[in-house]
Chain A
Amino acid sequence: MTKELLVLRVNGERHTVAAEPHHTLLEVLREELQLTGTKHGCELGECGACTVLADGVPILSCLTLPVVLGSDVEITTVEGLADGGTLHPLQTAFAEEGAAQCGYCTPGMLLAAKALLDTNPRPTRDEIAQAISGNLCRCTGYTAIYEAIERAAKTAQAT
């Protein structure tokens, strides 16, 4: 196999990377850009651990080829969630509610939650459950995650 050059916009930065054309966005993010915050759990689109945002929309990076995505799409990973040194309200709320136990589903969960709050700032619990239903968590039973997303929504409204 031969690597090919491609341009990706990730977390507001433009990167030219050399990657195998058949490698997924997940592989390119983790191995070529060393953005290892994005996790692989199944590489078959079943668990949601690899969720990133493409122009604000959650996608499964394990099922996405960067060449298909193109260079105009803005990709957001967990590393890009904080605004400089300021954590995103979701990150703070997840810490305060104990919504991350092992933390492995957390990056994908945070991005799915961000996409929800960006389009629906005051979601009901049912809407939250719906929004994260593609992100499996094996530790929490989801309760603390709901509470964290609700807390983040309140924080965002207060500010």
Chain B
Amino acid sequence: MTDGPQLSILGRRLPKTNAWAHLTGQAKYADDIILPRMLYGRLLRSTEAHARITKLDVSRALAHPGVVAIVTGRDMPEKMGIMPSTQDETALAVDKVRYVGEAVAAVAALDEDTAFEALGLIDVEYEPLDPILSIEEALERDDVKIHEDSRRANVFKEVHLSFGDLEAGFAKAEHTRDDWFFFEGNTHAPIESHSCVANGEANGNVTLWTCTQVPHYLHRELEKVLGIPRSRIRVVATPNGGAFGGKSDPFAHEFAACLLALRTKRPVKFTLDREEVFYAHRGRHPVKMHLRTGVMKDGEITAVHFQSWLDGGAYASYGIATTYYTGALLTVTYRVPAYKFDGVRVYTNKPPCGPKRGHGTTQPRFAFEAQLDKIANDLGLDPLAYRKRILQPAHSRTINDLRITTMGLGECLDRAGERTGFSAKHGKLPDGKGIGIAGSAYISGAGLPIYWNEMPHSGATVKIDRGGGVTVYCGTAEIGQGSDNMLASVTAETLGVLPDDVHVVSGDTSLAPVDLGSYSSRVTFMAGNAVKDAAMKLRDQLATVAAEKLNVPRDRIVCALRQVYDKDDPTTALSFTDVAVLAEARYGTLSAAGWYKPPPGIGGTFKGAGVGPTPAYSYQAAVAEVTVDRATGRLTVDRIVTAHDCGRALNPANVEGQIEGAAYMGYGEAIGEEQVFRGGLHKKPSLLDYKIPTSLDTPVLEAIIVETIDAEGPYGAKEAGEGPLNPVIPAIANAVFDAIGVRFDETPITPEKILDALAKKKVRVGPTGLETGRDPKAALRRLSASTDARERKRDA
């Protein structure tokens, strides 16, 4: 029963159990659901960035043949939002719109064409208000309030945390760097647009099939907004055709579908078109950052002061967590003895920002790793060896009271460095060629749930049927990361069957115990532990009856690959099915529940300590090799090698897929993706203009798995889905510096910016500002001027 070398399923490159459905067209995504008498829904969206709704008359639309029902914001006025403490949204806009694309009304019609026609028949008038479109405007304009209850200008949240003796740290430093950075906003762009079907049942119940990452949280919000008890609502998370954080908020179309279905007692489907996906957004926050780091001559860090200003868009989304996340995880990679963090998130009249893969940690990680590269350069140190010298130790606590357990960053740096020959190449490549390195970390699940409660973060039920089949029920959402396969594999390993023997029922609030959802890279760690806990209870029953039947001591019983046998004499064996029959005869129906809740003491107790703790951090390092064409400004990333400490790779093929996919997504953010606006209008709300890398654009991606076998992870596993994105972006920026001697302290690194820098012989591209002691507002005003100038130039 040890987790050691006897593993029969985990650690093997087995196909995902749900792969076959994906590969034959049988997987049922939300938009593939077609029900009898189904109506088709469309949303009317705001054409104004900031305006009062002065007229909203749906009577002409309602009279249009084929239109069955219409709802507006007034039908669902209850405030909602993913974070209970900052609920500032309504399902559909009430009285005011706050971004172009905000949903105002929802139509259900006999077919989609009719629903679309009806949108044009809704009479809506707006009284425009001044839009707030930049961080600086949001900070300074007290006369315009996007949300009336903002106390200071349009500040959504301001946080200040301080640990250790910052002054003494900087006083002791032999070298101090002050750098400004800007990380541009970008979006998830899953290939599946958001979609849902709600069915209004005769008894007043409603079922919602939807591509959500968070069926449980959505369930709670539906209860609040629809005003009917959760017992009458069933949410089923359909397989997500990509999500990356973009499907982890409750959305207008989900509420509208439910209300229209309840009113019509018919199924109602909403599928967003591609443009609407850019308005749904909840993507990466644009963040301006100031980072001051003091070091000794050998590079040892003495103090870090990090400041972030986040452009949150029009609503809260996860913003309070995002704000804290920009500061929380800077301490878990390298030793930081004194640390201060100031974060400000503001409202602007743009689609709400939220969590995208790496949630809130990607931007500061870019800044920190770029600055460490500068420090190494200043001090004449090899960037890889330097990072290794200042590593935060395993099994330690950070200055901001985060508990570290297993820590594989050193090995990640070594392995990525060895694979690429980093230290032999860095600083020695011909002009135009460069190599860069960066490290990073991420959480294996947030330490706290989104709403305060003492219950498990993940629950699972496992039952064994009389034919040797096993069914696992768990509230997780399959978003393509492979969570269904993880549940099947951990269950199969624990009980001693094959993954294909395990039926998975996931993401269904009526059938499965609660799991908080597929966000914060929590599923493998938390749901994996929950399902293992449940399966172990059944395994104990199986082992007891088998030991008696085989007449061998219980501790010698092994359950593996559909056999239950004596460890010392594998021929003394019974089939799993026979043992299950014996166990059911002894104990009754074979079913067990298991659960997981993070242990106490993994974080601090100060206000704001809730964001950052996790049962285990993943670590990763990336090396990027680039070529810059000085004539055209073209940046080619030739290769990205990412080494990732995932604890144990439960399925190495799937872990590598996560590492490569994360590198791909980080690459896109580094070289070009940006969610940007002209006035209040999205500049590129299509996949033609918002370019995500094609096969021809994508560098050679190599994944290296580093295992640290975490004692608390399920069979030693930690996360793999998000962390590997983070080091890729600074690794590319650092490689560009190695290639052409220009620091890019902002993203994306485009050919236009490279050409401009080379033409003007700039050594740095990025925001300028703040020197110590200056008024940050003044610095931000200067920053705004330079950004605007750049923007005007680009538009011209």
Contact = CB atoms under 8 A, between A and B. Distances in A.
Interface of A: 1, 20, 30-31, 34-44, 46-47, 49, 77-79, 81-82, 87, 91, 94-98, 100-107, 110, 128-130, 132-146
Contact of A104 (B192, B654, B664): B192
A68 to B, nearest CB: 19
A105 B686 CA distance: 17
B518 to A, nearest CB: 11
A107 B698 contact: no
Given A100-B22, A138-B665, A140-B664, A132 B242 contact: no
Interface in B355-398: none
A129 B192 contact: no
Interface of B: 13, 15-16, 19-29, 31-32, 34, 113, 188-193, 239-244, 271, 273-274, 479-482, 651, 653-654, 656-657, 660-661, 663-665, 686-688, 692, 694-696, 698, 700-701
A37 B19 contact: no
Contacts of B696: 129-130, 133
- Dominant secondary structure of chain B at its interface with chain A: loop
Contact of B481 (A36, A44, A101): A101
Nearest to A82: B24
A140 B660 contact: yes
Nearest to A35: B25
Given A78-B23, A144-B656, A144-B657, 12 more contacts: A41-B191, A42-B193, A46-B686, A49-B191, A78-B25, A79-B24, A95-B19, A98-B656, A101-B242, A138-B189, A138-B661, A140-B664
Contacts of B31: 36, 40
Contact of B664 (A42, A98, A132, A141): A141
A133 B697 CA distance: 9
Contacts of A20: 113
Contacts of B29: 36, 39, 104
Contact of B242 (A40, A135, A138): A138
A129 B701 CA distance: 14
A77 B242 CA distance: 21
Contact of A43 (B19, B190, B274): B274
Contact of B23 (A44, A47, A110): A110
A52 to B, nearest CB: 11
Given A42-B274, A44-B686, A97-B653, A138 B23 contact: no
Contacts of B480: 101-104, 139
B25 A98 contact: no
Nearest to A108: B191
B188 to A, nearest CB: 8
B695 A133 contact: yes
A101 B695 contact: no
B687 A91 contact: no
A136 B686 CA distance: 13
B665 to A, nearest CB: 7
Nearest 3 Cβ contacts at the A-B interface: A37-B25, A102-B480, A103-B22
Nearest to A46: B687
11 contacts: A1-B113, A36-B34, A40-B271, A41-B191, A44-B687, A79-B24, A97-B653, A101-B657, A102-B239, A129-B695, A135-B695
Q: Which of A95, A139, A145 has the most CB of B within 10 A?
A: A139
Contact of B657 (A79, A107, A132, A139): A139
A91 B663 CA distance: 25
Nearest to B195: A40
B25 A142 contact: no
Contacts of A39: 29, 191-192, 241
Given A43-B273, A139-B242, A103 B665 contact: no
Contacts of B654: 98
A141 B23 contact: no
A134 B696 CA distance: 9
Given A39-B29, A103-B239, A139-B480, A132 B23 contact: no
Contacts of A103: 19, 21-23, 27, 239, 241, 480
Contacts of A144: 653, 656-657, 660
Given A101-B657, A139-B242, A94 B23 contact: yes
B243 to A, nearest CB: 8
Given A98-B656, A104-B191, A138 B692 contact: yes
Given A41-B274, A101-B482, A31 B34 contact: yes
A89 to B, nearest CB: 11
Contact of A140 (B21, B273, B657): B657
A130 B696 CA distance: 7
Q: Chain A CB within 10 Å — which of B22, B31, B657 has the most?
A: B22
A36 B191 contact: no
A129 B271 CA distance: 30
Contacts of A87: 20, 23-24
B638 to A, nearest CB: 14
